[in-house]
Amino acid sequence: MKNRIFLAIALLTITISASAQKKIEVTELPKPAQEFLKKHFSHTTVVTAKKDAEHGEKGFEVKLQDGTEVEFWKDGSYREVDGGDKPIPTAFIPDNIKAYVAKNHPNEKITHIDYGHKDLDVDLTNKIDLEFTKDGKILKDKKDK
């Protein structure tokens, strides 16, 4: 009996995990997400696109041929762009954040940007982690520690 209960729980967990991320076509992404990819990542192609329910929020996750990962909110606005160790395009990054990086880290490039619920996280090529308010005021610069 215990084995059957365990098996049922295991199958339910697998089913829930599988349904949390559902592969979709790029054309199924919201229009703003499609336009964002076309405008900022026309140099590469989409490998996979998934509908993602992370932390109870429905959104979308896209993996690109060049290794970049982009996450979108359910409305299609970008939430996170992660280039791994490679620089990402910056045209969509707020000017005051780009200006801060240029002034305080002139030899570095932005590799990651993540809009959280309360703040904005930015990573640089030298592994420094910056944290900004939503309106671009610096909260943390790891080099200050």
Report residue 32's pLDDT band, with 50, 70 and 90 as the boundaries.
Answer: very high
Which of 26-30, 47-51, 111-115, 134-138 shows the lowest mean pLDDT across its residues? 134-138
Mean pLDDT of 10-14: 51
Residue 117 CB neighbours (<10 A): 7
The whole-number average pLDDT for the span 107-120 is: 93
User: Is pTM, for the whole model, over 0.85?
Assistant: no
Average pLDDT over residues 84-102: 96
Q: What percent of the chain has pLDDT over 90?
A: 73
Return the exposure string of 77-113: e unless at least 16 CB atoms fall within 10 Å of the residue's CB, then b: ebbbbbbeeeebebeebeeebeebbeeebeebebbbb
Angstrom distance (rounded) from CA 52 to CA 83? 19
Domain at 21-81, CATH class: alpha beta
Q: Strand pairing partners for 112?
A: 82, 123
What pLDDT score was predicted for residue 53?
Answer: 76
Tell which CATH architecture fits domain 83-145.
3-Layer(aba) Sandwich (3.40)
User: Where do the structural domains in the chain lie, given as residue ranges?
Assistant: 21-81, 83-145
21-81 and 83-145: identical CATH topology: yes
pLDDT at 6: 47
Structure tokens at 68: 């970049």
| Model pLDDT for residues 118-144, shown as the tens digit of each residue | 899 999 999 999 999 988 899 999 864
Tens of pLDDT, residue by residue over 40-90, are 999 999 999 999 876 556 899 999 999 999 999 999 999 999 999 999 999
In this prediction, residue 104 carries a pLDDT of 96
Q: Does 100 have pLDDT greater than 70? A: yes
